[in-house]
Amino acid sequence: MKTISDHLGIASDAEISVEMDPGTFDLGKLQGFVAAGANRVSVGVQAFQDDLLRLCGRSHTVADIWRAIDLINQVGVVNFSIDLISGLPHQTPEMMQESLDQVLSINPAHVSHYDLIVEPQTAFGRYYKPGEFPLPDDQTTANLYRQAQKCLTSRFKHYEISNYARPGFECRHNLVYWHNQPYYGFGMGAASYVGGYRLTRPRTRDRYYQWLRSSGGGGASESWLVSDSADLPPAPTEAIAIILGSDILLETLMLGLRLASGVDLLRLQQQFGEVAVSQITDILKPYGDRGWVEVVYTEEEPDKPAKRHLRLTDPEGFLFSNTILADLFGHLQISDEV
């Protein structure tokens, strides 16, 4: 934090988050993070049933969750978030409701609710196969999403597919990603998006230190971030992806449609052209007929015309977002000369 502050500067009102699992920190450690500048804590709760926590390989218990919340309150961190996961092995709607009720009783500033993704080649993936018992089937997980949406929107604003917040506590760094804006990433495995490039630092300790040594101990010059690909120095990162015009449009749609506010159609037209916007609306018309997609008008400033925002409906459009995006990606054509 001091290095970043010394070299780049940190805004006085910056949101500085730290992600922590219950049971992995004590009062002294939390106070240390706050002293270093952290003003937001995201707690990986996942569920409020010990059996479920064991089944999904979590090291903490429900008792650890309550101790973590108590420590956060002791330190006085108001801006804290709780993560929940649905679609866990043997999870029932009753279990989901119990977890949701506990979250409401805690009343955090922010809640993230994710559907379980079983990654291949992981320990969890070896034990559990998607679509097979004891994992809930697709219809059950869809109903768990609807259940969580109905419960959490009674207290919070549902501002993104998986995220809910009290007014003013939307996660600011995630909003940068969803608006497809540039950002720096520092440290092992960190991702950056700068100057039309996506970059990832080496993901293992050995490769990361090797990269540091090869660049004189201080990291490569930042000038290569915006240079032509042919001029990039050798292997500064694990991966470099140049984002072309069509990629930018598809990424803007993929990320922006995650937000409840959707994407600004006028801004899309200004950036990608009227033909592209016409293609998008034509492709999405069948989903509008189903009630999954809608265009809304918002008056953000009294003396200016209302803006048209294309967005997915809540909860059905969000539930079928993968289907909608796959159709967009499969049919949308745009020149990379935009």
Q: In tens digits, what is the pLDDT along the chain, a chain of 338 residues?
A: 999 999 889 999 999 999 999 988 899 999 999 999 999 999 999 999 999 999 888 899 999 999 999 999 999 999 999 999 999 999 999 999 999 999 999 999 999 999 988 766 665 666 666 666 788 888 999 999 999 999 999 999 999 999 999 999 999 999 999 999 999 998 899 999 988 888 888 989 999 888 888 876 544 444 344 333 334 344 445 666 665 566 888 999 999 999 999 999 999 999 889 999 999 999 999 999 999 999 998 766 666 666 799 999 999 999 999 999 999 988 885 544 44
Number of domains composing the chain:
3
Residue 258, in any domain of the structure:
yes
Residue 298, in any domain of the structure:
yes
Same-domain check for residues 64 and 153: yes
Whether the link from the prior residue into 134 is cis, omega within 30° of 0, is yes
Same-domain check for residues 221 and 267: no
Q: What are phi and psi of 7, to 5 degrees?
A: -95, -35
What's the domain range around 63? 2-170
Same-domain check for residues 154 and 43: yes
pLDDT attached to residue 335: 45
Same-domain check for residues 7 and 150: yes
Same-domain check for residues 215 and 285: no
**Residue 192 bridge partners (DSSP):** 199
Same-domain check for residues 124 and 102: yes
Same-domain check for residues 102 and 208: no
Same-domain check for residues 225 and 256: no
Residue 266, in any domain of the structure:
yes
Same-domain check for residues 22 and 163: yes
